[in-house]
Amino acid sequence: MSKPSDKLLQARTRDGQTIAYSLTGNPDAPLRFALTHSLALDHDFWAPVVAQLSAALGQEAAILTWDCRGHGQSSKPRQAYTVEQFAGDLADLFDHLKWPDAILAGASMGGCISLAFAGLYPQRTKGLGLFDTTAWYGADAPKQWAERADKALSDGLTALVGFQKIRWFGDDFRDNHADVVDRCLDVFLRNDLEAYAASCRMLGAADLRAHLPKIRVPTRVLVGAEDLATPVAMAQVLHQGIAGSTLTIVPDARHLSPLEVPDVIVGELRALAEANLVQG
């Protein structure tokens, strides 16, 4: 994961906020990927995937990773957030890069943002990877997410470390990849409390189900078999709601598949790229 001193590129949103981002590969490549991270992490969440995807595709592709509003080195305005607003930030980032479109992928919160983008900007969406994601957390979500936000504000993020580790990673992964777990926790603990709380409430309020039947691009849904946060049943709703989508259930994986099984995620992204080539 990135360090606070790492220097990223910057773009401005329509409401004057700063979005920090990184671009790997050939900026002018016709094959473009936009990858959006999970809650309370940052652009470097995708580092293992970017390394493998870049090695495979080289100068044929440009890979965008970014810090969502309220996260990492991007602006942290004191306001309520919505997934539609975050999708608008990504559209503004496309404008900044002069990108007409891209293949989108996101994990957890990033998947919600990617799904919102696909619904709001269909002409700019060439493919969709929804990893560890849901379109709706359920009727009790506003209350549950508000409780998590309030706990962070009252007790600090340290109080959530144990909860996050179990939600993020399977038992064997935590035992065998302590370095990855520790880097995630380092990023998590650097979060701005108010921005984290606003992001939690955003996810509790998100309902993207109406977008599902409108999606007409190649879509690949993936979930860990042990995912506690967005379980297999939620992935099945996505798969059943998006015509022509695929569903992959990864044995023994939990909630952060781009870190647990980056090679599998790279395979999903390459399949989306190939589907675009077939479509011409």
End-to-end CA distance of the chain: 36
In 10 A of CB 228, how many CB atoms?
11
Q: pLDDT digit string (tens) for 8-63? A: 999 999 999 999 999 999 989 999 999 999 999 999 999 999 999 999 998 899 99
Strand order in the sheet with 102-107: 9-12, 18-25, 61-66, 31-36, 102-107, 125-131, 219-224, 246-250
pLDDT digits (tens, 9 = 90+) for 129-188: 999 999 999 999 999 999 999 999 999 999 999 999 999 999 999 999 999 999 999 999
Smallest Cα–Cα separation from 23: which of 49, 54, 62? 62
Q: Are residues 69 and 19 in contact, defined by beta-carbon separation less than 8 angstroms?
A: yes
Measure the CA–CA gap between 70 and 106, rounded to whole angstroms: 17
Output the pTM of the full model: 0.97
pLDDT one-digit tens code per residue, 76-88: 999 999 999 999 9
Q: How many CB atoms lie within 10 A of CB 155?
A: 10
For the cut 60, the answer to whether the pLDDT of residue 4 exceeds it is no
* Per-residue pLDDT reduced to its tens digit, 99-132: 999 999 999 999 999 999 999 999 999 999 999 9
pLDDT of residue 254: 97
Residue 92 has pLDDT above 70, yes or no: yes
Among 140, 74, 147, CA closest to 113: 74
